[in-house]
Structure 1
């Protein structure tokens, strides 16, 4: 039975997401690109909401997922190549392009590797080294799948809209760099999780060593 006490935290995240989505939908810089960027949001949100009953995740995972989706909505409002904060990042690091899309791809790994790890640990029973390796592996895989989806979507729309959607800004290696940043973000996330687990339990490193050995009865 639904109670505010049980689901108040989840409702607060949903409100944050809804407000961000409403802002992003209000007079976006390029409405056609906004719609294209939001197709995955429209597909992902029902899955997340339905799964909260069948397979609820931790509050940490839902917070990280919400934060990533909000970052994506900001990109959809302006297009990734024209987000104002991206130009600020460009000035800070002396880059030759708007860096917001690089930030979001890095955040894809940084913020979503933990929810992926939680799912793998609970459903596949992963432990030790494999509970850190496979979230990184999955992040690289999901990032490459997203780049393929971007390519296919860009092919089906007008050239101008496709260029805005890809956000490559003339970089022929844009997709590869995006995948690399997503992977690096996931590695950072898993190192943080490892450090926290090491702090909480002295057996964390021993569990990693044990997971790399072949059982004697195998």
Structure 2
């Protein structure tokens, strides 16, 4: 049984992301913010395409990476504090701020955690499921911390121009809540998708 339902799924997803990436860059709210937000997509998309045969990932991971890329692209296009769907959520739940950036940080924990989990499992680098979960959460938090350091660097380098990239919306605890969202995303990823990822890894091993 094929791991993917169709050999056209990955090319179609890559073309869609490329088209959206180009569209988002035509007239973004802030050009520098757009560039900094979509850089991960610009780097990861070609990398995944080049390694799709030599080191294919599970369909679950490709799907989650796809949705994370969408969040990054729209966050770059509008800036996280101005993404329209975030205003809808803000109104529905009576929130004080646009929560779209928290979705981004949640996925910033969930997706890297599952990427790390898949690499560690397939390579046999960590023994024991409890230790695996601990290491994966540490990796997700480390990536989140690095991103917060990049935001700090941007604030120092760009001064007032960093406001759109930081997206703090006046929250003095934005950094801490961002990292908490990343940790929450990592834990949710392990709990909700760990078993499914295991089954898909087993199928990949049979190819």
The TM-score range, normalised by the shorter chain, is: 0.7 to 0.9
Gaps of 5+ in 1: 201-218
Deviation at 1:133, TM superposition (A): 2.4
Asked if the contact 1:109/1:139 (under 8 Å) is kept, the reply is yes
Match of 1:156 in 2: 157
Asked if the contact 1:64/1:112 (under 8 Å) is kept, the reply is no
Match of 2:105 in 1: 105
Asked if the contact 2:110/2:186 (under 8 Å) is kept, the reply is yes
Match of 1:120 in 2: 120
- Output the TM-score relative to the length of structure 1: 0.79
Per the alignment, do residues 194 and 21 of structure 1 end up closer, same or farther by CA in structure 2, a change over 3 Å counting? closer
Structure 2 distance, partners of 1:7, 1:145, is 35
Asked if the contact 1:13/1:63 (under 8 Å) is kept, the reply is no
Asked if the contact 2:106/2:181 (under 8 Å) is kept, the reply is yes
Match of 1:132 in 2: 133
Match of 1:9 in 2: 9
- RMSD after superposition: 2.3
> Counterparts of 1:1-218 in structure 2 under 5 Å?
7-126=7-126, 127-157=128-158, 159-194=159-194
Structure 1 distance, partners of 2:43, 2:155, is 18
Q: Deviation per CA, 1:38-62, whole angstroms, max 9, x where unpaired?
A: 3333333333333334422112211
Q: Which has the higher contact order (CA 8 A, sep 6+)?
A: 2
Per the alignment, do residues 197 and 72 of structure 1 end up closer, same or farther by CA in structure 2, a change over 3 Å counting? closer
Per the alignment, do residues 49 and 154 of structure 1 end up closer, same or farther by CA in structure 2, a change over 3 Å counting? farther
SS in 1 for 2:8: helix
Asked if the contact 2:25/2:77 (under 8 Å) is kept, the reply is yes
Match of 2:203 in 1: none
Structure 2 distance, partners of 1:197, 1:103, is 22
Larger Rg: 1
Q: Deviation per CA, 1:150-189, whole angstroms, max 9, x where unpaired?
A: 21123222x3321111111111211111010011011011
Asked if the contact 2:145/2:179 (under 8 Å) is kept, the reply is yes
Gaps of 5+ in 2: 200-207
